[in-house]
Structure formats: C-alpha cells, structure tokens
Structure 1
Amino acid sequence: MKYTNKTATRIIEMIEQDLFGVSEICKIVNINPKTFYHWKKTRPEFNEAVDNAITLREETLVASARIGLKQLLEGYVQKIIEH
C-alpha cells in the first residue's frame, strides 16, 4: 500500500487511543506490519508522529493511574475516619 497522510493519521490516532497493538492496527488499515516499520524507517515525519503518539499514550496512562490510585487512597482514608 502507498503511504498516505490519511492512513498515517488513522494509525497515529489508534496508537494514541491505546486500543490496539501494531499488528491489529495494520490489519485494520490493511497494511503489512513490515510496511508500518518501513514507513517508520524511511519517513521521519511518520516516525516522529508514532513516537509522539506513544509518549502521549504513556503519559495519559500514568495520569489515569495516578488519579485512580488517589481516589482509592482517599476512599480508604475516608472509610477509616468514618469508623
């Protein structure tokens, strides 16, 4: 498949959303995983966008984990105080 901005954008969005792995994304957009990695190697803008999407995904995951942990800890503290 030929590289297009539309396909690249769709891939980047799926990486950011953390819904699928690379193999699944490739199936959805109808490309071979080798094509994905070839694009990463030969298209600096795509490689950078993928790296940024992964970083954003990881930052979002860490933020969600912190919020969840904080809520759990606050709920635990409130339960102890209520008794």
Structure 2
Amino acid sequence: MLPQVWRIHHYPKHLLHCFVDDNRSKSNDADGVLIRAELFSISPNEEQLCWECSCRSELEVPEMQSKVSRWLSWLNR
C-alpha cells in the first residue's frame, strides 16, 4: 500500500511494528521470496508501510538478518 500523499510522518516507536516472514521451510508457496520483513506504523487512521525488504537467495539472508536486527535494536532502545 502506498501513501496517498508523499510526506514524512513521525510516529512514536510504540506505534511501529516489525514483522518477518521466514518462508525457507516452505517449498514455493511464497512466490520465490525466502524472507520478507516489513516495518509499518499503525496510526489512529490507518496502517502505513514504512519499509519493506525481501530476499530470494540464501546468499542474501545474512544481509537481511542484519537489517532486521538493526531495526529491532532501534525499536527496543
């Protein structure tokens, strides 16, 4: 989902959520995506996607894990 108006919104950390879908144990159910991570905010009005990253190769998994780790570290500060 893309925002209707292109502007930066700032939300408190407690309104941000990070989800990680690990599809490595599934065969081809996820359209070739091994891992997908999303960071999004939930405002009183709607849900807005802030960041999304996915990888389709096992070689990309360590970089993806590092990105998610940095986001989680920031959220938990």
TM-score by length of 2: 0.32
Q: Which has the larger radius of gyration?
A: 1
TM-score by length of 1: 0.30
